[in-house]
Chains A and B, each alone.
Chain A
Amino acid sequence: MDILPILIDWSPYILSGVASTLGLVLTALGLGILLGLPMALGQVYGAWPVRAVVGVYVWFFRGLPILVLLFLFWFGIFPAIGLGHLSAFVVGAVVLGLRGAAYQSQIFRGAIQSVGEGQMIAARSLGMSKFTAIQSVILPQAMRIALPGWSNEYPNILTDSAVCYAIGVVELLTITSRIVTQTHMTMPVYLVAAGIFIILNYGGLKFLHGLEKRVAIPGFGTGAT
């Protein structure tokens, strides 16, 4: 039997898997910024209790394997706090996002700290409050500095998203396994799935690098990775 007709037959199903995988990744990336940026600000500008809490959070989420985190939240924590009704997709996306926030917060933190201290001094000397200075002087620079490192989070989260298979999220790898079971075309189907992941991976990176070029400013931290 040939692989091509099988692919055509199953293409809607495969596409739904791609959509689900991208859904996981985009949710996780979004959640990562939403939580990671305040965490980074807390670590740089916050009082020591804030820094300590963020530090423990980062240590925890970076120290555990993604598989264990998924198991812990899917089977343990979420049901225990009354969120047992959440779908595997939501739990997968949230766990990827919580973990992503830990990694991304450190990218943002490094970027904020690499903005020269003169920028803050100059902003304050003009009468800006600390908040305004962070918002309109520090962050616009830090985000540009962080972008290359942040872009590299995309392939990490994409490849990690496949582990959501373990809690039954119907993403690309789950769908691949189902097609393998149904068709007994083992290797070709796996290789096609690998091909799709590779395309998503480098396609997404290409898009992000394009974005980096678009927000680039002459003589300002571009090309630095």
Chain B
Amino acid sequence: MNDNDIVLRVEDIHKSFGGIEVLRGVSFDVRRGETKVFIGPSGTGKSTLLRCINQLTPPDRGRVWLDGEEVTNSGARINHFRQKIGMVFQNFFLFDHLTAVKNVELALLKVRGMSKAEAREKALTELRQVGMEDWAEHYPAELSGGQAQRVSIARALAMDPDVILFDEPTSALDPELTREVLEVMKKLAKNGMTMLVVTHEMGFACSVANEVLFMENGVVAEQGSPDLLLNDPRFTRMKDFIGRIDSRMSD
């Protein structure tokens, strides 16, 4: 494998909260243009893992590299890396006092130092990408959950990130609204965006993921293509997990 293809390298991440070890040594490489999906029971550290990557939650141990530069222990340079590592949250976290377009503009103005005109143009372009250009002047409270999430994706895209982290992007949404967000994410994947996605959407995982990482008890328990994990008899744990979800849903 060509090392130059690797955009993100995560090595041996450990994290404890109040004596409870949530992450117990997680490592993986992400190649440019790849979509990795993280699946597993809740409380197994998937969201913490994402936050450890961009240091919103600094890991206790382990290292993260972006394009060969170390992200961990980078001091004030972390703000530079965070521009390159976009993040989309379960509850959107749109800036409630700003319209959709201004949500996308803000970091362009304050972090990138763009001019107002440039930032506006860029923001509108990104909103168009996610089909939200007609809602540019609306405030977050005036948007549906699906619309808000699409704006938050545009906000992350606007920084031209090398990789975007999706932390359960559809868990707070109704099934119908989930679909519109997943459509946007599929389009991004097709256009070559590098994405790490924590989700419970198996359909999305199967159709989009290059690799699925099944996490359990703070480690990656199984890892491989969706096809492999679902059909190869050597892999059982993710299938068990999915079976449990399915039986619970059919109850």
Contact = CB atoms under 8 A, between A and B. Distances in A.
Mutual binders A and B: yes
A20 B81 CA distance: 55
Contact of B79 (A119, A129, A220): A129
Interface in B169-215: none
A6 interface: no
Interface stretch (B12-20, B32-40, B65-73, B90-98): B90-98
Contacts of B21: none
B139 A219 contact: yes
Contacts of A82: none
A122 B111 contact: no
Interface in B97-134: 97, 106-107, 110-111
Contacts of B89: 118, 121-122, 125
Contacts of A219: 96, 139-142
A127 interface: yes
B147 interface: no
Contacts of B159: 126-127
Nearest to A117: B93
A127 B93 contact: no
Given A119-B95, A217-B97, A220-B97, A124 B56 contact: yes
B109 to A, nearest CB: 8
Contacts, number: 79
A141 B93 contact: no
A137 B82 contact: no
A128 B139 contact: no
B91 A118 contact: yes
Residue of A124, A127, A144, A219 with most chain B CB atoms under a 10 A cut-off: A127
B82 A119 contact: no
A140 interface: yes
A136 interface: yes
A118 B159 CA distance: 19
Interface in A100-155: 116, 118-119, 121-129, 132, 136-137, 140-141, 144
Contact of B139 (A123, A137, A144, A220): A220
A140 B139 CA distance: 14
Binding site secondary structure of chain A = helix
Contacts of B155: 126
Given A127-B79, A132-B110, A219-B139, A140 B97 contact: yes
B141 A218 contact: yes
Size band of the interface chain A makes with B: 20 to 34
A118 B82 contact: no
B96 A119 contact: yes
A127 B141 contact: no
B111 A128 contact: yes
Contacts of B107: 123, 126-128
B118 to A, nearest CB: 17
Contacts of B86: 125-126
Nearest to B79: A127
Given A141-B97, A218-B141, A127 B82 contact: yes
B80 interface: yes
Residue of A126, A132, A137 with most chain B CB atoms under a 10 A cut-off: A126
B87 interface: yes
15 contacts: A116-B96, A122-B89, A122-B152, A124-B56, A126-B86, A126-B155, A127-B79, A127-B80, A127-B81, A128-B110, A128-B111, A137-B106, A217-B96, A217-B139, A219-B140
Given A119-B96, A124-B56, A125-B156, 20 more contacts: A116-B93, A119-B95, A122-B87, A122-B93, A123-B95, A125-B56, A126-B107, A126-B155, A127-B81, A128-B107, A129-B79, A132-B111, A140-B97, A141-B97, A217-B96, A217-B139, A217-B141, A218-B141, A219-B140, A220-B97
Interface of B: 54, 56, 76, 79-83, 85-87, 89, 91, 93-97, 106-107, 110-111, 139-142, 152, 155-156, 159
